[in-house]
Structure 1
Amino acid sequence: MMLPSWLSWLASLALLVWHMQASAAPPRTVLIGSDVAEIVAALDDLEGVVGRDDTSQYPAAIAALPSVGYLRQLAAEGILTLAPERLIVGAAAGPREVLAQLEAVGVEVVRIEQGTSLAELPDKVLAVANAIGRDAEGEALAIEVETDLARLEALREEAQGAELSAMFLLSHSGMTPMAAGRDTAGQAVIEAAGARNAFAGFSGYKAVGAEALVGVAPEIVIATRSGLAGIGGEARLWQLPGLAMTPAGRERNLIVCDDQALLGFGPRTPATLMALHAALHSAGDATVIEEGCWRVTS
């Protein structure tokens, strides 16, 4: 039996509306890289986001999503279980072969090339905004970031000639604590906050012995919240061989920072670096700055 013409017309209209709604729905997206995830969240565009990588822990809406693993050690199988249509990946994401496999099966992979450079942060914001169709919001956020970076540079210039010698300590549970040398995110944040890296004499992250610690004599230790927990807390920190014989150890000078806010090189990083600058140049008060950096006094 044929449908009446008016009913057939209504059915066709309903089908057309359904197709329009389906096509308007945002693609199922997985975000790889804490910087990318924070920028997307800051642009208020989490609709359609169905997954993240292990490093993406902020904000809570991101942390609540299922993880597909560590951003440098991705596996296509784990990502495909979320049936993504699109991946937005940071510069450190890989392996490249896995990303190529995903593209080969029809997943769009959007690469954000800007990495862990403060100077690249505004361009990174604009690149992510362009990828998700939030150009106007991205331009506004990039201006905010540029303003914070300009304020940070002014603070750093004020501190020239009076830079403290700082040690950035990297640690995770079960690993030997390591100091940040040249060409590391640790050195980048030390210098951006107006201090001098005590271990600029070597490249990368290295475990350092008592003799090396005493030799460079750091005046202050900078650690992340999770890094300090990985050591076993502040009391265990000062028991590291040789640290008690340094100016930092004798005075118990320690600054603790939120991991992702400081090292994620996302929208919060400039403000967190200003908090680090304030903590470096404080009189020793244990002032906590939410999601930033604070000096710990014993």
Structure 2
Amino acid sequence: MMTLAWLCAGTPLAHADDQPSTNERWVVLGGDIAETLTALGAEANVIARDDTVLYPPAMADLPSVGYLRQLSAESVLSVQPDRVLAAEHAGPKEVLEQLTAVGVAIDIIAAPNTLEAIPAKVRAVAQQINRQREGERLAVSLTAKLERLAALPALPPTRAMFVMQHSGLTPRVAGSGTAAHTALEAVGLENAFSAMQGYHNVGAEALAKEAPELIIMSQRGLDALSGETALWQLPGMALTPAGQAQRLIPIDDQALLGFGPRAPDQLLALRQQVEALLTAPTTARVNQ
């Protein structure tokens, strides 16, 4: 009987010597794992995914088996998979154990939610599907991009606010301990809301107090808000330097914050956008 394997990025993997059959049916759980399979040219075996897989579009069009953290064995088994390749947050654990009990191979790629872990995650997935050569090339390329980002000169001190979405009349903002906080630091920005942990809604008083000079916002959140004009009209936004100068950079949050193979390029692009915005004679939205 096949077993549930927890696979740490950078460590030997359970099925590394087993060449996957071209007829194997895979379910992918986690946007970062889906992006990695695609970057390795191994997406052909994927027949279903979870709701967090939004890229590439062809994979997003596949049947969904539910939300990453709230799966059911029945939903996964309905697509008749041979193997499940999953991010470490997939679950519940009891569902994964049920799938294992009926003979589905469950391979969970465990990696810290850090930029430095991206190349190791790529190597882990590549070894698991016997694409080590492709995985090594990709990992080396991603490492070089992250090193290039880290070597860039410091920006002028700039307080930024990362908005994932809005709830009513208050934006939902990233504090410390979030992927968004990591991204802000990686491009050389100071998180104006680093004193709080996680994502929280912030009101007009907090916006005025923390005085962000630049807003980085999920494009999906901006669309849900009905656009940039609505953002600047939120209570308290006009009291911030960012609101007064209308400094906004919309981003693809899954590409940037998923810590998959697209993240280094997204970070380098964001850094360029920040530099352009800070040096522009008049400040405004920087398009992607």
For the criterion TM > 0.5, the same-fold answer is yes
* Structure-1 residue corresponding to 2:144: 147
Q: Which amino acid aligns with 2:216?
A: I
Instruction: Give the drift of 1:231.
Output: 1.9
- Measure, in 2, the Cα distance between the counterparts of 1:92 and 1:73: 10
Matched letter for residue 242 of structure 1: G
User: Which protein shows a greater Rg?
Assistant: 1
Cα shift at 1:60: 2.2
Q: Secondary structure at the match of 1:146?
A: helix
The verdict on how the C-alpha distance between 1:75 and 1:177 changes in structure 2, with shifts beyond 3 A counting, is farther
Aligned partner of 1:53 in structure 2 is 50
Residues 173 and 75 of structure 1: CA distance in aligned 2, closer, same or farther (over 3 Å)? farther
Separation of aligned partners in 2, 1:253 and 1:201:
22
Question: 2:154 aligned to 159, 163, 179, which one?
Answer: 159
Alignment of 1:1-298 (within 5 A): 24-155=21-152, 158-159=153-154, 162-171=156-165, 177-282=171-276, 283-284=279-280, 295-296=286-287
Q: How far apart, CA to CA, are the structure 2 residues paired with 1:35 and 1:144?
A: 17
Q: Following the alignment from structure 1 to structure 2, what is the Cα–Cα distance between the partners of residues 262 and 196? A: 17
The change in CA–CA distance for 1:72 and 1:61 in structure 2 (over 3 A counts) is same
With the length of structure 2 as denominator, give the TM-score of the two structures: 0.87
Asked if 2 retains the 8 angstrom alpha-carbon contact of 1:253 and 1:296, the reply is no
Quick one: percent identity of the two aligned structures?
A: 48
1: CA distance, partners of 2:74 / 2:112? 26
Whether contact under 8 Å (1:220, 1:254) holds in the other structure is yes
Checking the alignment, whether the CA contact within 8 Å between 1:173 and 1:229 is kept in structure 2 is: no
**When the two structures are aligned, how many residues end up with a matched partner?**
265
Cα RMSD over matched residues?
2.0
Q: Which structure has more RCO (C-alpha within 8 Å, separation ≥ 6)?
A: 2
Runs of 4+ in structure 1 off by over 4 angstroms are 172-176
In 2, distance between residues paired with 1:41 and 1:83? 21
